[in-house]
Amino acid sequence: MNEANSQNTYTEFYLLDLDRTLLDTEKAGELLRNAVSWHNAQLAILLGQKIEDYTLLGESFSMRDFILEQVGEAETAKIETKFIELAADQDLLNTGAHELIAYIRSKPGAGVGILTFGSPEGQAMKIAAAGMSDIPFLVTGETFKGEQISSWRDERGIYNLPEELSGVSATTIVFVDDKPFSFKGLAGDCRGYWIHSLYDAGKEKIPSYVVPVEKLTDIIQLERARTN
Stretch (H or E) spanning 14: strand 9-16
Looking at residue 146, its pLDDT comes to 97
pLDDT level of residue 3 (50, 70, 90 thresholds):
very low
Rounded Cα distance between 24 and 21, Å, is 7
- Report the C-alpha gap between 7 and 9 in whole angstroms: 5
Helix (H, G, I), strand (E, B) or coil at 80: helix
Round to whole Å and give the CA distance between 126 and 70: 19
Report pLDDT digits (tens) over 107-118.
999 999 999 999
Task: Tell me what percent of the residues of the chain surpass a pLDDT of 90.
Answer: 79
Instruction: Indicate the pLDDT class of residue 204, thresholds 50, 70 and 90.
Output: confident
Residue 2 has a pLDDT of: 39
Tell me the backbone φ, ψ of residue 105, rounded to 5 degrees.
-65, -20
Residue 201: pLDDT over 70:
no
CB 12 within 8 A of CB 170: yes
Q: Is CATH 1.10.357.10 the right assignment for the domain spanning 9-23+92-227?
A: no
How does pLDDT run across 125-183, given as a tens digit for each residue? Answer: 999 999 999 999 999 999 999 999 999 999 999 999 999 999 999 999 999 999 999 99
The torsion defined by the Cα of 38, 41, 43 and 45, in degrees rounded to 10, comes to 120
With bands split at pLDDT 50, 70 and 90, how would you rate the model's confidence at 227? confident
Q: For the chain, what is the mean pLDDT?
A: 91
Amino acid letter, 82: K
